[in-house]
Amino acid sequence: MSDVTVVTGANSGIGRATAVHLAGRGHDVFGTVRSLDKTAKLLAMAESAGVEVKLVLLDVADDDSVRNGFAEILERAGRVDHLVNNAGVGGNAVTEECPITFYAEVMNVNFYGAVRCIQAVLPQMRLRGKGTIVNVSSVVGRVAALAQQPYVASKWALEGMSEGLAQEVAPFGVRVAIVEPGVTKSAIFAKNVDVPRSDGSYDMHYRRLFQFYAAGIPQATDPFEVGALIHEAITTDEPRLHYPVSWGAQDLINGRQAMSDTEWVALGALRDDADYYDAFERSFGLDIHPAEVADDD
């Protein structure tokens, strides 16, 4: 009997790749989407791989939608063996300029959305004495990215909840895995380019944020690598709690662990961009300097 796996946010990026990859490994995959009108690429990718991803309308940001979506899944499949909480949104802003409503919007998807889905599947996992919950966080859940405060806050919350959840459900035979992607090929970057209007006080911060991604996107990891790691997290006999993956993730985590808090704050205090990029490379081993523009001569 095939394992029943739910992948939220299956319409793009990591979610789409994970749904197709797990279906290819024999899972009975239910991919949740907010709209059936935008599933053409997912369905084409599944068809090309010779697999099926069953679609379920579900918006993780809405209580009733999550309740109804999982009721449909449980009616169709009878159980959920594995939940991959992947649905998420980005969010750029420094603290001073971030409206509370923006924090709330991002938290509602990235954090509350995961909690809603966990609460929907845990009762039957607990009663059956087995199951896996994979929460797709981000490296920014371990290292606070510059000028992405709503996103950082939501992912730190997800990480903390996940660590507590892992202990809570361990007596019931349910496992938790936290997957922490760095820069991965995904449509989220194209959608995540807005910053709050301001008087320019924080232009330096936003400039450095976008320069990090400008350097990382050409080296972004294929989302199917993340899907393969999620499959490993589900099937391994030697489970871990944290799974860093993709460009920059392990480098950033290792670098931050090696830095003192004083060094961390001092990095942010650098006023000159060139000095900042030099110090960033020394600290994390990642070259995010702007590419040099070739002369026309």
- Is residue 183 a contact partner of residue 209, using CB atoms and an 8 Å limit? no
* 162 vs 146: CA distance, rounded Å: 23
Residues whose CB is less than 8 angstroms from the CB of residue 106 and which lie 6 or more positions away in sequence, other chains included: 89, 90, 91, 150, 151, 153, 154
* 188 vs 14: CA distance, rounded Å: 10
Residue 111: both structure tokens together: 């954090």
Q: What element of type H or E holds 244?
A: strand 242-245
- Tell me the CB-side half-sphere exposure of residue 111, using CA atoms within 13 A: 19
Spot the catalytic one: 103, 112, 151, 277. 151
Please indicate whether residue 206 is annotated as part of the active site.
no
Q: What element of type H or E holds 75?
A: helix 63-77
Residues whose CB is less than 8 angstroms from the CB of residue 126 and which lie 6 or more positions away in sequence, other chains included: 169, 172, 174
- Is residue 246 a contact partner of residue 222, using CB atoms and an 8 Å limit? no
For residue 193, count other CB atoms closer than 10 A to its CB: 10
Catalytic residues: 151
